[in-house]
Amino acid sequence: LLERPEFADYWALKWSDLLRVNRRVLGREGAYTYYRWIHDSFAANKPLDQFARELLTAEGPLSESPAGQFYKVVPKPNEMASTVSQVFLGVRIECAQCHHHPWDRWGQNDYFGMQAFFTQVKFKSSPLGEMLTSNGNAATKHPRTGAAVLAHPLGEVEP
């Protein structure tokens, strides 16, 4: 069953919803190349950790790195932190943006530490088309305290 083309079709459809393939935002070609990358990943039986790594560390021209389209559909660091946490970690951290929930283990530092990973992602124009870059320090500002929060995984101590 895993060898059949329907396997890749089915899982590409599911993951396209999770990763928000959206033709209105990406345009026809962008949505197609992004979907194709997802589909081809399942057709090649790519391990999920490699799939996630390629998606989250995409860089360069979007024409050569279609996984980078993810950053166009979820452009804000706070949305990206919430989406990545829910899709890949199975954790909803939105509440931690405002407070440390009494029944959950995630606090504001966890939320903003996760958000900081995505603050350095930028798009710029190049002769090869739109390019995804990553520059600067992975840090964000805690809105209540004003303190810098460095990027760190959920549940880990800030570096």
pLDDT digits (tens, 9 = 90+) for 1-54: 667 889 999 999 999 999 999 999 999 999 999 999 999 999 999 999 999 999
Question: In the block, which residue shows the tokens 């931690």?
Answer: 96
- Phi/psi zone of residue 117: left (φ > 0), alpha (ψ -120 to 50 degrees), beta? alpha
Q: Once rounded to an integer, what is the mean pLDDT over residues 48-72?
A: 96
pLDDT digits (tens, 9 = 90+) for 98-139: 888 777 888 899 999 999 999 999 999 999 899 999 987 889
Angle at 89 between CA 81 and CA 97, to 5 degrees: 35
Rounded Cα–Cα distance for residues 117 and 158 (Å): 12
Per-residue confidence (pLDDT) for residue 90, from 0 to 100? 93
80 pLDDT higher than 90: yes
Per-residue confidence (pLDDT) for residue 2, from 0 to 100? 66
Rounded Cα–Cα distance for residues 105 and 102 (Å): 8
